[in-house]
């Protein structure tokens, strides 16, 4: 447990996690809606993801990953291993869709997830209940919910980085001061 | 110049830069407004910055850095070296202020900057005009404006990362999958 003055760690609190999860669709909407399509499909080369790919991944996660796993923990506990999550599913699912489609789909799916989560009336004791992850083994509901939050923020950071790096050459010598471009996390 | 199929680089275009710059206040508002104060003051240890510190830095940049340097390039060219930017100024300037104060101050200051920028009626030819950076020497207006955009996105990525890392322990074994926590940029 972090102490109360530690600014580097927060203990998990369900109402704070929900407050963070509820923000992500609006954050990505503010960042991406109305940008030229070339920016939505920008990536970092090779198999890296564009903002469009990230949004598809987030939509798929709402449908196949987060709340379904919460439900497995509460209903079946450690006896039923989670279904593996398909990290490539969005490439087929998003084909032919537009960025505004995906922004709307993510906002709707996240809203459904948070209503579903509220309906479960999770207690503090429930947070210690566990499930079985296909790679990690035993994981708690607290860890799953904290990961849902951190996963959102990871992808917000990624989308910001992908956009920033489009100007890797255009920033000239300032590259040295821009950690998102120079690659250090500082 | 990147070719038209290159998804890793965008050539600088003023109207796209303005579209990105105009989004940042709403992105940070969506991410931060209403979060408990402890999250606004979360950091990564030592002298690292909290979301609150980043916002103060962005407000100060609008006042002291970006548009003032644009104006120096257009009015004085390379003869007048830019004033060094004080990367610690926000600690005094933000003292006693609240996060909603700083969100509002940033939105207002950014709006002023973008109106000021529009009034300058910058042409393509102007983008090649240059100024003198105190550390780097000759820099072009194009590089300055591209850096303004990338700097915003760098700090959005930073704020997301600072928040995510608050759950470094709470995510348990999932840490290995969360690049924002594990420290790789993937």
**Those residues with Cβ within 8 angstroms of residue B21's Cβ, 6 or more apart along the chain or in another chain:** B110, B113, B114, B148, B149, B152
More confident site: A14 or B1: A14
Average model confidence (pLDDT) across chain B: 94
Strands B137-140 and B130-133: antiparallel
- Does the structure show a pLDDT above 60 at A185? no
Sign of CA dihedral A100, A103, A105, A111: negative
Q: Return residues 42-61 of B near A (CB < 8 Å).
A: 42-45, 50
- Residues in chain B with CB shorter than 8 Å from the CB of A154 are 160, 164, 178-181
What is the spatial distance between Cα B114 and Cα B152, in angstroms, rounded to a whole number?
A: 14
The chain A residue lying nearest B29, using CA atoms, is A27
SS (H, E, C) A85-111: CCCCHHHHHCCCCCHHHHHHHHHHHHH
| Packing angle of the helix pair A51-64, A14-32 (nearest 10 deg) | 150
Per-residue pLDDT band for B113 (boundaries 50, 70, 90) equals very high
Percentage of chain A exceeding pLDDT 90: 85
Residue B3: predicted pLDDT: 66
- Does the structure show a pLDDT above 60 at A75? yes
- Does the structure show a pLDDT above 60 at B2? no
Averaged over B162-167, what is the pLDDT?
A: 98
Phi, psi angles (nearest 5°) of residue B42? -65, 145
Average model confidence (pLDDT) across chain A: 94
Give the number of residues written for chain A.
Answer: 186
Of B180, B167, B163, nearest to B40 by C-alpha is: B163
- Does the structure show a pLDDT above 90 at A3? no
Residue A186: predicted pLDDT: 42
Helix (H) or strand (E) holding B100: helix B99-119
Q: Please tell me whether the interface predicted TM-score (ipTM) of this complex is above 0.90.
A: yes
The model's pLDDT over B47-71, given as tens digits with 9 standing for 90+, comes to 999 999 999 999 999 999 999 999 9
- Does the structure show a pLDDT above 50 at B176? yes
More confident site: B95 or A109: A109
More confident site: B84 or B16: B16
What is the spatial distance between Cα A70 and Cα B136, in angstroms, rounded to a whole number?
A: 52
Averaged over A110-137, what is the pLDDT?
A: 97
- Residues in chain A with CB shorter than 8 Å from the CB of B99 are none
What is the spatial distance between Cα A13 and Cα A19, in angstroms, rounded to a whole number?
A: 10
């Amino acid at each position: 447990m972090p102490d109360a003055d530690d600014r580097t760690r927060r203990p998990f609190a369900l109402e704070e996690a929900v407050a963070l999860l509820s923000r992500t669709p609006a954050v990505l909407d503010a960042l991406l809606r109305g940008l030229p399509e070339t920016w939505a499909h920008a990536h970092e080369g090779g198999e890296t993801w564009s903002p469009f790919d990230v949004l598809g991944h987030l939509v798929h996660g709402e449908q196949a990953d987060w709340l379904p796993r919460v439900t497995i923990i509460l209903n079946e506990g450690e006896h039923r291993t989670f279904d593996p999550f398909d990290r490539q599913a969005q490439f087929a699912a998003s084909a032919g869709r537009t960025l505004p489609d995906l922004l709307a789909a993510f906002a709707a799916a996240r809203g459904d997830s948070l209503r579903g989560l509220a309906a479960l009336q999770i207690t503090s004791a429930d947070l210690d209940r566990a499930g079985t992850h296909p790679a990690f083994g035993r994981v708690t509901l607290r860890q799953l919910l904290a990961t849902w939050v951190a996963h959102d923020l990871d992808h917000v950071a990624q989308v910001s980085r992908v956009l920033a790096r489009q100007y890797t050459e255009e920033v000239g010598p300032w590259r040295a001061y821009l950690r998102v471009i120079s690659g250090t996390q500082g």
